[in-house]
Every structure is written in C-alpha cells, then in structure tokens.
C-alpha cells in the first residue's frame, strides 16, 4: 500500500506539470494579440488586397427567384440578398475577383453572362474594372477599383471546340475549371471515371490553354486527373477553391501528394470557405442530409412543400455542426507546412455555397481569416503572398509561358474523336 501511495504521488508529480506544460503550449498558440494582428492585417490589405479565386455572384443572380432579373435593378452597390456586393467587397479588402460567369451551362447563357460582366463595369466604373492581363489587374487595384477576371467553371460552353476557346480568350476569358463534372476532357471528382484521369483530347486542350495564356484550374477534377494535368501542363495551374484532403476527406479536396507537386509546377491551391470541404464532421452531416433529401423527393414525388417540411424536422433532429475560422486556418497551416507559403491563396466560393463558416458569412469576412493567421505567427510577408502576390506571380508566369509557346506552336484544331 505504501508503495502504491508513493507511486501514485510520483505519477501526480509527473502528470500535473506535464498537463500544465501542454496547457501553456496550447495557450501560446497565438503569438500576436487580437489588436496587433488586426493592425497588421489592415496594413497588409492597404497595398496587397485579396485576390479571391472563385465567386459565384452570377449563379446567385440567375437562380435567385426573388431578385430582379434585370441587372440594372439588381444593385451591387448596396447590400443584397447574396454574399457579394461592392460594399462588402470593400469591407473585406478585396482588390481582385476571379468571377465565374459559367457553370457547365449552354453557350448562349455564357454569352449572356459575359454581357452582364461588361454592363457591370459600365454601371460602376469607379468600383469595377474587367481585366485580361496581370498588369491590368495590378493597375486596377492600384487605382482603387476591384479587378474582375472572368472565368469559366466547367467547360460545357466550349463545346469541345478549340476555336471557341480562342474566341472566348479574345472576349477576356483567362481561367477555365477543367471539369465541373466528368466531360470529354477529364474525370470529375464525384463521378465514375470515364478516362482514368485526363483524356487525350483533354491533354490537347491543356496545351492550347497554355499557348493562349489561359490559367488551367483543376478544382472539381478527380485525384488522378489532378496528377495528369500537373504532368501535362507547361504552365503553373491553380486549384481555385479546394482544401486539403488530409484534414477533410472529401473528393473535392486535394491529397497531400498532389499538393506537393505544386512546388515543381509553381502553381497554387486557393483554400476555400466551403464548410463541407473544411471539417469531416460537417461533410458527414452534409452528405447525410443530401441522402435524406433525395429520399424525400422520391417519397413525396418532388412535392417541394412536403420535402421542405420533412427536411426542417431532420435539421432540428440533426443539428448542423459549427465550422469556425480556426478550422479553415488549420488548412492554411497544413499546406504551409507541406509546401511553403508560395503556393497558397484564397478562394471563398461565395454565392456558390448553401452554408458558410461561422464568422466568414460573406465577402466582407477575409480580414477575420487573415487576423487568425497573423495571431498564429504568419508574417506580413506571408500574408501579402496569400492575398495577392502568389496569384499575380502565377498569372504572370502563365502569360510568359504563352508568349514563349506562341513563337513555336500553331493553334490547335484537334477535335474529339467519337467512339463508334
């Protein structure tokens, strides 16, 4: 008994200091105070505003039944029903926006959206500037305007046509998400494989995008397609809105072995604020809700009122997990440890998501993320890289590679070979 008491006391002597040590270690996670971090972020955003990799303002505009469907009456110079407008872009320190104007829709709808982009610039000339080069993006941001870079999410609008790709480049298209879902170019992240990665035609399309100076975006493609693109491209690529699969095991996220390939490619992953791509708990809840929703549609013969009533009950019985700024900051820390800060950016995906991270409710929230990172020890140089400098470097290198390729490579006329 005496020995037991002695050993027990000895164990306490060891465990209590150890517990105290780990508590202190946890408490010292933050190296800056809130005030010091906020001051640093304010300084960063004055000269290195956020260039966000993905925004779905137009999806909200086209899908919003209660919104005016004429762009002159759907105002973005005041707070609207979505996540995005000029006042909140300003509050969030946004200086550049990769704006999705097509999500696997028809050619006609894509051209409608392009018309609206330029009408938006005409309606708000002091706030918005549509850009087509890295130098134009820098100039727009220096002038205090928000640089809008039109992008295409998915490639249905290209109709597998190299000529259309070149025509869209002339209109100002500068980035294409290679496959929103499986198409003739590549396998999508959530679909059954069709090509085991990227098709032969897809590789030709990558070559033509490289030659033109269009940034290849490989968010939404399968892990095998990610690797295929990285092995094929001659220019840096981006993941415009994806997270680290090591922290959240979702098909839309990027495995560590692929992230590591960004170093040789000189590309970047723009980490996203999508809750189901951020924590496993939210992804599990979201997937369960999806399954139940589709089951209800079948059960109620697509009666929206009955489906909604039952979904409301399900959500009360299955509370939504809370995803925090700290959770998404963990993805930034993870990628930084893997490949360094030079390959990281921000891709909010606002107006394209059903749910938001607590505190990152719209485009005004970027300073909260940057403050969290500053408190964790990210330096001013680090923050400037992830807000603007990394993307501008990628854009410039894509342009430089295109200029070199155009001296030796002619425009491609390759077409999809139909299987008989």
pLDDT single digits (tens) 171-223: 899 999 888 888 888 888 888 888 889 999 999 999 999 999 999 999 999 99
Q: Look up the CATH number of the domain holding residue 134.
A: 3.20.20.140
- 20-34, 77-91, 405-419 — which one is most confidently predicted on average? 77-91
pLDDT the model gives residue 22: 34
Same domain, 340 and 191: yes
Residue 144 pLDDT > 90, yes or no?
A: yes
Same domain, 252 and 170: yes
Same domain, 307 and 238: no
Say how many Å lie between the first and final Cα of the chain, rounded. Answer: 85
Residue 3 pLDDT > 50, yes or no?
A: no
CA atoms of 354 and 79, how far apart (whole Å): 18
Residue 102 pLDDT > 80, yes or no?
A: no
Which of 238, 281, 230, 199 shows the shortest CA–CA distance to 98?
Answer: 238
Same domain, 180 and 286: no
372 located within any domain: yes
Which of 417, 394, 412 shows the shortest CA–CA distance to 240?
Answer: 394
Same domain, 312 and 397: no
Residue 346 pLDDT > 70, yes or no?
A: yes
CA atoms of 36 and 375, how far apart (whole Å): 8
Q: State pLDDT tens for residues 310-333.
A: 999 999 999 999 999 999 999 999
Lowest average pLDDT, out of 36-40, 169-173, 344-348, goes to 169-173
β-pair partners for 378: none
21 located within any domain: no
Same domain, 192 and 316: no
410 located within any domain: no
Which of 179, 254, 253, 252 shows the shortest CA–CA distance to 209?
Answer: 179
What's the structural domain count of the chain?
2
Confidence of residue 68 (pLDDT cuts 50, 70, 90): low
Same domain, 288 and 388: no
pLDDT the model gives residue 77: 87
365 located within any domain: yes
pLDDT the model gives residue 182: 85
5 located within any domain: no
CB 24 within 8 A of CB 18: no
Same domain, 242 and 119: yes
Most distant CA pair in the chain, distance: 88
52 located within any domain: yes
7 located within any domain: no
Same domain, 230 and 307: no
Same domain, 170 and 284: no
Same domain, 166 and 222: yes
Domain limits at 301? 280-321
pLDDT the model gives residue 72: 65
Whole-number mean pLDDT of the chain?
A: 88
Same domain, 240 and 303: no
367 located within any domain: yes
Among candidate residues 265, 296, 321, the one where a domain is terminated: 321
pLDDT the model gives residue 11: 38
């Amino acid at each position: 008994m005496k020995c037991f008491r002695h050993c027990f006391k000895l164990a306490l002597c060891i465990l209590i200091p150890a517990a105290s040590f780990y508590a202190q270690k946890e408490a010292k996670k933050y190296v800056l105070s809130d005030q010091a971090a906020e001051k640093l972020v304010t300084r960063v955003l004055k000269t290195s505003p956020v260039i966000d990799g993905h925004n779905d303002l137009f999806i909200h505009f086209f899908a919003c039944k209660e919104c005016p469907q004429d762009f002159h009456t759907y105002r973005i110079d005041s707070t609207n029903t979505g996540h995005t407008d000029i006042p909140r872009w300003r509050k969030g320190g946004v200086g550049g926006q990769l704006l999705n104007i097509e999500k696997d829709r028809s050619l006609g709808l894509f051209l409608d959206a392009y018309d609206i982009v330029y009408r938006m610039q005409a309606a708000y000339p002091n706030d918005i500037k549509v850009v087509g080069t890295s130098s134009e993006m820098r100039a727009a941001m220096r002038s205090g305007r928000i640089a809008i870079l039109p992008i295409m999410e998915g490639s249905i609008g290209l109709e597998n046509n190299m000529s259309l790709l070149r025509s869209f480049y002339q209109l100002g298209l500068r980035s294409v998400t290679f496959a929103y879902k499986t198409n003739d170019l590549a396998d999508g992240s959530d679909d059954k494989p069709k090509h085991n990665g990227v098709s032969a035609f897809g590789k030709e399309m990558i070559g033509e995008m490289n030659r033109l100076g269009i940034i290849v975006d490989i968010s939404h493609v399968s892990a095998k397609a990610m690797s295929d693109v990285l092995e094929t491209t001659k220019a840096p690529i981006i993941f415009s809105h994806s997270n680290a699969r090591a922290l959240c095991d979702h098909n839309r996220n990027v495995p560590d072995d692929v992230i590591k390939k960004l170093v040789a490619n000189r590309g970047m992953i723009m980490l996203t604020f999508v809750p189901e791509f951020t924590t496993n708990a939210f992804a599990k809840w979201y997937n369960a809700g999806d399954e139940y929703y589709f089951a209800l549609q079948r059960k109620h013969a697509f009666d929206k009122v009955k489906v909604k009533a039952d979904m409301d009950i399900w959500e009360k019985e299955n509370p939504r997990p809370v995803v925090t700024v700290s959770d998404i900051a963990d993805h930034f820390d993870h990628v930084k440890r893997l490949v360094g800060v030079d390959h990281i950016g921000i891709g909010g995906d606002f107006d394209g998501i059903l749910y938001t991270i607590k505190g990152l409710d719209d485009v005004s929230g970027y300073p909260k993320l940057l403050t969290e990172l500053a408190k964790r020890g990210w330096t001013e140089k680090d923050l400037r890289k992830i807000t603007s400098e990394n993307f501008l470097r990628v854009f410039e290198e894509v342009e430089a590679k295109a200029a070199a390729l155009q001296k030796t490579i002619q425009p491609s006329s390759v077409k999809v070979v139909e299987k008989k």
